[in-house]
Amino acid sequence: MAAVLLPLKEGRPVQFAMTGESMEPTIHGERDVIVLSPLPQALRRGDVVLYKRGMQHVLHRILRAKGDFLVVRGDSCREKERVSRDEVVALLVQIKHADGTVVSCCDNQWRSASRKAMRLNAMRQWGRRYFSKEMRNRFLP
């Protein structure tokens, strides 16, 4: 990962193959190539950022900003995380899918898709909680 971060520190974008499943179905690990750029002045809700968590780097979507911290979550993850802005390394600017399509992560179409992904994730979370309670009530005496 150090080789990936070096061009970012120099102010140049970098691309590499994505690993992991936390951003499914937006980004398919092992198949899609992502392009990251150095951080802009301001990060917005819906942006996908690369940040450092311990010894690894994670790519997740910003749900909201609270002062010096961001609340982030992967599109297929259940739990939210609180991340310091200082831990954020780069911003996702492009996704190159295995089928050859290229998605720009900086235009209005991306913003709309990002809002949709956040709503779907919230609905999935609600469904998991609701049905879990229903199942517990059904099987408890």
Range ranked top by mean pLDDT from 3-7, 41-45, 93-97: 93-97
Long-range own/partner contacts, residues 52-60 (CB < 8 A, 24 or more apart): 52/87, 52/89, 53/81, 53/83, 53/87, 56/1, 57/1, 57/89, 58/22, 59/18, 59/20, 59/22, 59/23, 59/27, 59/34, 59/92, 60/22, 60/23
Average pLDDT, the chain: 86
Label residue 141 by pLDDT band (50, 70, 90).
low
Residue 1 has pLDDT above 70, yes or no: no
The model carries a pTM of: 0.83
Tens digits of residue pLDDT in 90-139? 999 999 998 999 999 988 888 888 888 888 888 877 777 776 666 666 66
Which pLDDT value is given to residue 93? 94
